Amino acid sequence: MMEIKKVDVKDWETLQKISEKTFAETFGKDNDSEELSTYLANAYNKEQLINELSNSNSEFYFIYFESQVAGYIKLNIGSAQTEKIADHALEIERIYIDSDFKRKGLGKKLYEWANERAKEQSKESIWLGVWEKNPSAIAFYESLGFKKVGQHTFHFGNEEQIDYIMEKNFTR
């Protein structure tokens, strides 16, 4: 059974664990281990996560599979967006599934959840950044109707990497 629940500030430690695990699983093999450690320490420390969880323009949701946290999504609007795309847009900043739960449709379920949240908030589009060297993620988003509309710099530890900005418009 699948269930999606909003993450509360008191859940920061669970969020930290799933964030570090899924990020390392996704990007660890293709990146320098020191840069990975630096990134994880900066992006997922207690203070950073509590700040993000406390931002009224951001929402985190856990997805549960058979009562276990299997992944999460972070949505941003307004000033919380990592790029100023548009006020009428919703950003998926993070969407990760634990490797133990992949191939069960959970990523698609989280995406559908984000889609509904965007429509509930009268957003005209949904967008995200995806690493240029992650072809499976790019293909997944293209299969959902996303198009590449630009790129931005992603700071990974002390390195700069390129993320494609992909957007799906609801009005076109």
Q: Are strands 125-131 and 159-169 parallel, antiparallel or unpaired?
A: antiparallel
Note whether 165 and 152 are within 8 A (CB): yes
CA distances, 160 to each of 24, 80, 157 (Å) = 17, 21, 8
The catalytically annotated residue of 39, 44, 72, 141 is 141
Instruction: Give dist(CA 123, CA 14) in Å, integer.
Output: 30
Q: Is 132 helix (H, G, I), strand (E, B) or coil?
A: coil
Is 141 noted as a catalytic residue in this protein? yes
Give the Cα-Cα-Cα angle 97, 109, 90 (nearest 5 degrees). 90
Whether the CB-CB separation of 60 and 6 falls below 8 Å is answered with yes
Which residues are annotated as catalytic?
141
